[in-house]
Structure 1
């Protein structure tokens, strides 16, 4: 158990989340999970491990704007320090018992499990699973932690927005440039084998909605590709090529992602996504290959100028 709480608080929080899900037309279980992730972040920010984890992944979209763009059921971190299963299990069990202001949520320390991530990226990491309880409602929580990546520019201290006005988490978070660089590296590395359609969607949203300084983005791309030992593509990578976006199987994967994604922004065809990303990502890449300074600016939707 992680704080002194009464049944009334937990029941009240659950009722408020249920009302919020109806108001927004969102899935109640998904909102419960998002609340659990948010309060896990708060416990982390109140612990001695605050500087051992940098927030990354889809939860950043809510930080950058007033909408998450796509719902997520997990939180992603870049971790520093313990990269073994036993050490990470001990940290998260401790987080479950951090004394905090009553938010109605009980995180179950004895439910913490840690496993090695084995996915397409080959960079792996560790996955933490645990459960919370909110007035009898089961709240599944998952945290994916990677290690050893470069962050350019350096991570910034942020205040994470809250669903119900609880005390806000304060922790470090990835800059947009590194989010772009890592997802781009996965596109290049995986090529035609890439089934991570969420990466294409996230990059499309980022390119449409945010501005970038070419000097900073190109540095982030260079540092990420170097750290992950990936060569910069001299031409359009296969993962953004006509071979990719005209492939029937890839279009089926894209359409399945769109159907299941509960997305707030309706994306276009996979071809349109890849063409925008080519316009966004190839110019800084070519400048790096040519060892030229890339001082262009990107306004939302592009192009570079």
Structure 2
């Protein structure tokens, strides 16, 4: 088997084929691919026990992908301080894990973090980071994680 020279193009082509066969939108499949690749990085990181998947993406996975996917990834954060900078550093560490075989790159310099539901009983954090597949900048998406502490 020969080595793939342009992994992002190969992944994009496979996603287009799946979109055509399944009738699902390419953009939806691309978003799911980015989310899955983030979750893979999380699973091999030192933070795998700190962020528990919840919300729409969790339910989507439990219905064998029959439900409508969501545009964000929700986590319950545990055993980690509810501090913006610490959570930002955690996500930078996760997104920085190199997985050459998937062609995904996270634009860490454009990552944003913000408090959500300030002064509420359950104050959370929203982290946005753009994911790219090769040079497909127009196909970038924001991986939004709402963390509940």
Same fold (TM over 0.5): yes
Compared CA separation, residues 39 and 113, structure 1 to 2 (3 A): same
Give the Cα–Cα distance (whole angstroms) in 1 for the partners of residues 66 and 146 of structure 2: 18
Q: What does residue 86 of structure 2 align with?
A: 87
The structure with more helix, counted as a fraction of residues: 1
**C-alpha contact 1:93 1:110 (8 A) present in aligned 2:** no
Give the Cα–Cα distance (whole angstroms) in 1 for the partners of residues 60 and 115 of structure 2: 27
Compared CA separation, residues 101 and 62, structure 1 to 2 (3 A): farther
- Structure 2 unaligned runs (5+)? none
Q: TM-score, normalised by structure 1?
A: 0.43
Question: Within 5 Å, which residues of 2 pair with 1:35-184?
Answer: 35-80=33-78, 81-118=80-117, 123-137=122-136, 138-147=140-149
Matched, 1:13 2:11: yes
**C-alpha contact 1:125 1:145 (8 A) present in aligned 2:** yes
**Larger CA Rg, structure 1 vs 2:** 1
Runs of 4+ with >6 A deviation: none
The number of residues matched between the two structures is: 141
**C-alpha contact 2:60 2:68 (8 A) present in aligned 1:** no
Secondary structure of the residue that 2:49 maps to in structure 1? helix
Compared CA separation, residues 100 and 68, structure 1 to 2 (3 A): same
Give the Cα–Cα distance (whole angstroms) in 2 for the partners of residues 68 and 88 of structure 1: 32
Root-mean-square deviation over aligned CA pairs:
2.0
The structure with more strand, counted as a fraction of residues: 2
Q: How far did residue 101 of structure 1 move?
A: 5.0
**C-alpha contact 1:94 1:109 (8 A) present in aligned 2:** no
Give the Cα–Cα distance (whole angstroms) in 2 for the partners of residues 93 and 7 of structure 1: 27
Secondary structure of the residue that 2:30 maps to in structure 1? helix
**C-alpha contact 1:92 1:112 (8 A) present in aligned 2:** no
Q: TM-score, normalised by structure 2?
A: 0.84
**79-88 vs 22-31, which moves further:** 22-31
Q: How far did residue 122 of structure 1 move?
A: 5.6
Give the Cα–Cα distance (whole angstroms) in 1 for the partners of residues 31 and 8 of structure 2: 15
**C-alpha contact 1:108 1:132 (8 A) present in aligned 2:** yes
Give the Cα–Cα distance (whole angstroms) in 1 for the partners of residues 16 and 110 of structure 2: 25
